[in-house]
Chain A
Amino acid sequence: MWTETWLFTKRSLMTTIRNPFSFIPNLMISVFFLLVYTSGLSSVAALPQFGGGDYLNFILPVSIVSGAVGGAGGAGQALVRDIESGYFARLLLTPSTRTAIVLGPMIAGMLQLFVQTLLIFAVAFLLGLSIPVGVVGFLFTVLLALGFGLAFAGYSVGVALKTRNAQAAQAGTLLFFPLIFLSTTFVPKELIEAEWLKVAATFNPTTYIFEGMRAVLTQPTIDWGALSAGLAVAGGMSVIMVVFAATNARGALKQK
């Protein structure tokens, strides 16, 4: 099982590296978010509700999470390509477990995300990022990004297997918008004015990822409550989505 998973992961990584356009646009979007929001909205941080933190630290999670969602969506699209080329059927005919077959692209997506997150951090440091709690903040942020990325990769793989159709899998990533924007994306919850948006933000799992990251990025001391909530949401969603993907792997043959 582990050997197979590794083989599938390696293969997915090779495919990704040979298709640079599968990840470059997404990375650009994340960096773009970071630059635009920081320059355009940074005066918001002067409001008392921010508690004196730097807006760059506040918005960095948005850039990382949007990169994670976009990057992880690639895992599903890679799988649709395999189904369409008939290669997926060939993989199903090997003695490998279904789980290993779907985990491969998901883990590859997660590793891609890891590199991407490091690059976003690098840009942020160039913009003058400093993390009050130090390196721990960086590590937890990366961990949260990976957990959320794995969950979204599982979601995109599951949708790909269910629909077996590139357009549908692409449409599945439309979830990106509500996930990213119906949340405490630009301002803390106390500053959200519309009541419905506050409610949406409360139910949106992304909010807990944002809050978890902010718990270790914006404050002089770590807010352990928010961090644990974020980690729990990331972990729980990953498990659910991996199961969702694996249960859809059976019978996902190309339909004529």
Chain B
Amino acid sequence: MIEVESLVKTFGDVPAVDGISFSVKQGEIFAFLGPNGAGKSTAIQMLTTLIRPTSGSARVNGFDVVKREKDVRLSIGVALQETGIDKVLTGRELLVLQGRLFKMTKREAEARAEELLSVVSLADAADRKSGTYSGGMRRRLDLALTLVHRPIVLFLDEPTTGLDPASRIEIWKEVRRLNQEFGTTIFLTTQYLEEADELADRIAIIHHGKIVVEGTAEELKQTVGGESISLVFHTDAEARAAAELFGQAATGPSLVFELRDYTLTDVVRKLDEQALQPERLTVKQPSLDDVFLKVTGESYEGGVPSVD
């Protein structure tokens, strides 16, 4: 559905996107994960025909983003980071105009507007100027505008940046629903590790304009090792005894090792056999933080969801 080959965009001498290649299959949710300034927005702007690549090529729904931009635009829905709404028009007027611009007849556009207004729960506010809407309502209207022409590929540029946690979960639900019910292919960018982990079938981590690693969340996490277990005992002696069982070394009363040769059940059974009772037992999944640290050598910044 999306095929990208050695895509480059330079502004002046500075490469914002520095030769990225990847592909997204139909029906997939694909996330571009990276901190601010990694090149995510520039990439999305090229894929959606807003800016032209310096070199390389990209096809969306089979259409070249430079040579067939009109066909690309008919296939895609795009919600940019900032909502694109004319405050002077009402929600309904904006939706109808959007439908008309996507070649619907007046009647079709009106029917579609009505339908979407109820989908995004804006039916009551439909005939008010959109300038009077709250932030959340504006996001919902923006999403409705993106969906007017039933796009088969959806591009979401940081869909939840600046949203409160409740609204964030709302958006996640909506994205999953669009993907599952209509089979919409979704390309999203995010700076939140959690969001990529939660939503995406596949993730590409982008850093300084390059894709540093790509795969499912599981695959990425496996690159930094498996789950690890952490045990804390009442005494150092107990910890040492436990450590011997697994061929590890204890640090004071605690013992941490990777669950590679043993499963969690193995560990619990062995401890039980020796009547060793840990005071605390935790299993830690490797996180995308760890992945980011490993592939870039830098710790992830900007990944903490903040509410503006």
Which residues from chain A sit less than 8 Å from chain B, CB to CB?
A: 3-4, 7, 11, 14-15, 18-19, 82, 85-96, 251, 253-254
Contacts and interface: CB of A to CB of B under 8 A. Distances in A.
Given A14-B89, A94-B102, A95-B103, 15 more contacts: A14-B88, A18-B88, A85-B85, A85-B86, A85-B87, A86-B80, A86-B84, A86-B85, A87-B86, A88-B84, A93-B48, A93-B76, A95-B73, A251-B50, A253-B45
Contact of A14 (B45, B49, B93): B93
B interface, over-half SS: loop
A253 B134 CA distance: 24
Contacts of A95: 70, 73-74, 101-103
B185 interface: no
Contacts of B88: 14-15, 18-19
Given A7-B97, A94-B102, A15 B84 contact: no
Interface in B37-83: 45, 48-52, 70, 73-74, 76, 78, 80, 82-83
A98 to B, nearest CB: 10
Contact of A85 (B52, B84, B98, B100): B84
Contact of A7 (B48, B51, B101): B101
B73 A93 contact: yes
B83 A92 contact: no
A93 B72 CA distance: 9
Contacts of B145: 90
Contacts of B49: 92-93
Nearest to A94: B101
Given A11-B97, A18-B88, A85-B84, A92 B103 contact: no
Contacts of B85: 85-87, 90
16 contacts: A18-B129, A85-B84, A86-B84, A89-B50, A89-B80, A89-B84, A90-B80, A93-B48, A93-B49, A93-B73, A93-B76, A94-B98, A95-B70, A95-B103, A253-B45, A254-B82
Nearest to B45: A253
Contacts of B101: 4, 7, 91, 94-96
Given A7-B100, A95-B74, A253 B86 contact: no
Interface residues of B, number: 29
B116 to A, nearest CB: 15
Interface of B: 45, 48-52, 70, 73-74, 76, 78, 80, 82-89, 93, 97-98, 100-103, 129, 145
A90 B83 CA distance: 9
Residue in B70, B82, B84, B102 with the greatest tally of chain A CB atoms within 10 Å:
B84
Nearest to B145: A90
B86 A82 contact: yes
Contacts of A18: 88, 129
B73 A94 contact: yes
A233 B84 CA distance: 38
A87 B84 contact: yes
A18 B131 CA distance: 12
A15 B86 CA distance: 9
Contacts of A253: 45, 50-51
A251 B89 contact: no
A3 B102 CA distance: 11
A92 B72 CA distance: 12
Contacts of B102: 94-95
Contact of A90 (B51, B70, B84, B103): B84
A94 B101 CA distance: 6
Nearest to A19: B88
Contacts of B78: 93
Contacts of B97: 7, 11
A214 B228 CA distance: 90
- The 7 A-B residue pairs whose C-beta atoms are closest, nearest first, are A90-B84, A86-B84, A94-B101, A86-B82, A87-B86, A15-B88, A95-B70
A251 B52 CA distance: 8
A94 B82 CA distance: 17
A23 to B, nearest CB: 14
B83 A86 contact: yes
A54 to B, nearest CB: 42
Nearest to A11: B97
Nearest to B70: A95
Contacts of B93: 14
A36 to B, nearest CB: 34
Nearest to B41: A256
A28 B45 CA distance: 43
A108 B109 CA distance: 23
Contact of B50 (A19, A85, A93): A93
Given A86-B83, A86-B84, A89-B80, A11 B89 contact: yes
A164 B30 CA distance: 32
A92 B69 CA distance: 11
B148 to A, nearest CB: 10
A18 B88 CA distance: 7
A106 B159 CA distance: 33
Nearest to B78: A93
Residue in A82, A86, A93, A254 with the greatest tally of chain B CB atoms within 10 Å:
A93
A95 B73 CA distance: 6
